[in-house]
Structure 1
Amino acid sequence: MGKNSIKTYSTETFRHKFMKPEQELDTILKSDYGKFFIVRVEEMIQLIKLPVPPTRATTHSLIYLTEGEAIMTIGSETFTMYKDECLFVPAGQIFSFSNADVNKGYLCNFHNDFFVGKFGKKDLLKDFEFLTVWGNCHVALDSRTSYYVGHLLQRILEDYAANGLKHTNIIQPYFIAALCEIARVYQPLSSNKKDQSVKIANKFKELLFSKIKTIHLVNEYASLLNITPNHLNKVVKRITGKSPAKWINEILVMEAKVLLYQTDIPIREVAAEIGIFDQSYFSRLFKKYEGVTPLQFRKMIEIS
């Protein structure tokens, strides 16, 4: 395959491959299907094994509902979405959900490389803040925008189900148009995107996702941002509602949950993998945020 060649499959082939037996969702998303696919939400829920424990997204996902509701945890926050709303899971983010909610809509999974081609380029991603780990991943659409997005996704699904990505020159611009429609009504987490404090808070969250396994101290993040720890504390608490220390601890616990689910390595190695070398401290930290010890959490996963 060429450098920008993306392998995919029709909806029917996708359903046949994964319907029996049920698959772990991360198995699907890390396969070739993770390059690009679109499927109806009501069909996707039949393909996966529930509950879906904390799982790291390796590509971007978009969920758009036309009926019903859905509950999903993205990062450390739990969202409930309804008709005419979108949820994005940016690449690198951790997500989970447990219920087979009654709903209809579309789920699209896509790699950054999908934007590279005749009608797109990676620079286009800068226009889509909802695809960043610090952006607002929950977007409510007005009726007009929802109408356009629904029709665009339906058009993509029809061509994709029949031809895969044979007609990329049709699918890519339609998909870019759908994201542009969503971006038009997107509301950032802060009303003033140019505010220096917002930039600091966003950069802090971005650093967390790249440095969390090696840097756990607020003063070290402050140093990377060339500001004082006190200033970082004030800014992050004002913009996000949580202190930098709480952000650090929550993401450490999320990273641990992914390892507890996806591996069978001993608890002490899970702790070491995220940069904590005192197992008793790790267990206390984990129980503080999850209400159970790491060992109890792992047993709960095995039972489910």
Structure 2
Amino acid sequence: MSKAHIHTYDICTLGMGKPASENIQVIRFTDYLAAHKDIRFPHRHSFYHLAFFTKGKGAHTIDFERFPVQAGQLYFMIPGQVHSWFFEGQVEGYVVNVAASFFNSFLQDAGYVERFPFFSGASAEGVVMLPAEASTEVEVLFEKMLLEIEATEAYSYDMLRLLLLEMFVKVSRVTRKSDTRQEPPYNYVLLSNFRKLVEQHYMQMRLPKEYAAMLYVTPNYLNAFCRHMLGKSAGEIIRDRVILEAKRLLINADTSIATIAYQLNFADNSYFTKFFKKYEGMTPEEFRKNIS
């Protein structure tokens, strides 16, 4: 697979000879790595991708942010994120691939899973370093999931749903405890709603006032709120999403800069180039050369 093209995997592609009729896979990382050597190149998934490490080191790049791999680390990735791995020596751990629809028959709230902070889509928020006690508890849950995925017992997939949700809750509690700020619940709801709107409309809507109107708050309040929660203004968050998509598209060498500018709804190629250079310190062409 060429590094100049982002390949998108679905669960069936990564099935390792096993059916994925229930849209979930649980695999030891050593087996996963042996079967899918191309994951060292940038690629993306059409499903939620979890990786937990119990041994080894290296680096993991998610949406062009680089993180060191170490034991006790748990990665949560949402569909569409571009990522690649680089490992030093042997690594051990677990991988879970799960489609968003896996929980739909089990939960009345289709958006329940998205409420967990590590599924925000922000790369750094999806990387969790677990303390020793929590790491042991999570490893036990992964082992139980491995048993269930191989079982022919009744309700095995329902048990997998329960085990995954238990893990999500445990990890969420750990991350909340490590956050010294005690935000009221409605702040997380507002932040989640804003991020969802940006994800849906960033191609066409670039002004904070447009999102503020949809959220029934003032533009000043939205900007102050975003600075409080994320250290960035609402405008910066919208802009960062546009730049991220530009970077994702620029990996595909066969797509011209002019086409990317058009896809991102810029008036012309020149305006897109100036916008990208202003915030990234290099032109789109230079960025493409640096990652090739």
| TM-score bracket, shorter-length normalisation | 0.7 to 0.9
Asked if 2 retains the 8 angstrom alpha-carbon contact of 1:25 and 1:48, the reply is no
Map 1:246-257 → 2, pairs under 5 A:
246-257=236-247
1:157 aligns with 2:138: no
1:108 aligns with 2:96: yes
1:177 aligns with 2:166: yes
Structure 1 residue 66 displacement after superposition: 0.8
Q: Describe the superposition over 1:223-278 as per-residue Cα deviations: whole angstroms up to 9, x where unpaired.
A: 22233323322221222112222222221111112222347232111111111122
1:8 aligned residue: none
Contiguous gaps of at least 5 residues in structure 2: 16-22
1:224 aligned residue: 214
1:36 aligned residue: 24
For 1:62, give the aligned amino acid. Answer: L
Report the TM-score, using the length of structure 2 for normalisation.
0.77
1:141 aligned residue: 130
For 2:107, give the aligned amino acid. Answer: K
1:17 aligned residue: none
2:267 aligned residue: 277
1:65 aligned residue: 53
Structure 1 residue 33 displacement after superposition: 4.0
Contiguous gaps of at least 5 residues in structure 1: 1-20
Number of aligned residues:
277
Structure 1 stretch displaced more, 207-216 or 188-197: 188-197
Distance 2:202 2:44 in 1: 14
Secondary structure of residue in 2 paired with 1:216? coil
1:261 aligns with 2:248: no
Q: Percent identity?
A: 26
Distance 1:71 1:183 in 2: 24
1:95 aligned residue: 82
Structure 1 residue 293 displacement after superposition: 2.4
Structure 1 residue 137 displacement after superposition: 2.0
2:193 aligned residue: 203
Distance 2:137 2:26 in 1: 17
Distance 2:219 2:78 in 1: 28
Q: Provide the aligned C-alpha RMSD in A.
A: 3.5
Report the TM-score, using the length of structure 1 for normalisation.
0.74
1:49 aligns with 2:30: no
Asked if 1 retains the 8 angstrom alpha-carbon contact of 2:120 and 2:192, the reply is no
Distance 1:211 1:259 in 2: 17
Asked if 2 retains the 8 angstrom alpha-carbon contact of 1:128 and 1:179, the reply is yes
Asked if 2 retains the 8 angstrom alpha-carbon contact of 1:89 and 1:95, the reply is no
Distance 1:66 1:49 in 2: 22
Distance 2:53 2:103 in 1: 23
